[in-house]
Structure 1
């Protein structure tokens, strides 16, 4: 039976509103698990940090999304080795390199694909601004050049980067997003607007954006189920980051409580999943 698993970003636990101190790793993991998340997302390329993380007893019952930031083909190897050593759920690649020539982009992606062929842990390329696949059109071109590429969809980056209208142009932008989603095997949950990558979810003026992202997330759920194995698991990570992702007021504090928003997203994603009755 296919399942949805909702994870929380450890990065998203940083500098939370009304938090008087920085909680320890163990405290954050306990809070995440007690709140009903199925696991967490974190950096997974430094052997010492990963060993410390994996020594925590609580980790054994949690799914892990590992994150890597390679800037060259061989830079992916440490993260791949660690991901396979600890058999995490999946590894997501934020390609921290920005070639000008498209042919060089393809060369790098093909190199990572060759390395990933030896991995028993799935490896996904994250859709992300400021990376090799900075722009949605670049991501689509890369899919044409390397159709075996598997994505992790974070549509918020492209929604703000391309200043999507609301609603998106049905026969252009919406279809482009769905093309990316049809190649995505995991996702990050964050609500964006045409001018900001992470907006307060419950402000009434942001309701159209929540609706649009919900439609895309549910579309991904249905599409993923049609192409996945019967016992597969779809992982969605709530990734509400601290400033400058979070919008802050004059006092430097977040306008909203990102932890409460993450809890809302967890419940909301499970509701979307329940509605399609996969």
Structure 2
């Protein structure tokens, strides 16, 4: 019996809830579990044999299977994989259709410090879990942060197509991977790097949550990369006038150009601003 037939026997496909370059995401129902899930199906014929996208296709289920052996509430869980000659289907947690990017795009006024701290705490918890298992996400950004369909306040880190495993000896990685506004400078400089690249990206996510703009920007991708490499972190008064010194301190420690001085996800979780839930003394 082929993988596609097994998939259809176990899951009842419902409506389409998302679409990407190479496939679709559908809501599906599993009668044996009496529960709804998301089915991400990617067509292999749309991928070039030597493309980075094909490498991501092979990589994502392997990384997610590793993470799913030790499930974390803030990481998208992989329940089943069906790999056929024509397509790859992954059965995942069902999430709310809007991402953190969508929430930030429609959030006026900007998120409060307590709301930002609650979201960052969950993201850091997910990253700390990944890093303990030797997994580096390498593309942390608002677009890859989803929310549980049953509990919209619960964040779910998703899209592990660019992720990599450091190995049991805590090795180093190489290769330019990531998204312009969020990628760490050591990646762009062609150096070997480790899990600290995820902390940089999470720090940029926090900056965007508090300011509504990224810390490093430009008119072109090249200009953005140049700004990231310079790593000149600033807090424009017109934007950060009401942001606490504790939040700024955490941003400086996460968006630190020197990776050896950049704090880890575990250390960031113990930062006073996170421990207080973003509840700080108002600025006079």
| Common topology (TM > 0.5) | no
Bigger-Rg structure (1/2): 2
Structure with higher RCO (Cα < 8 A, 6+ apart): 1
TM-score normalised by length of structure 1? 0.27
TM-score normalised by length of structure 2? 0.27
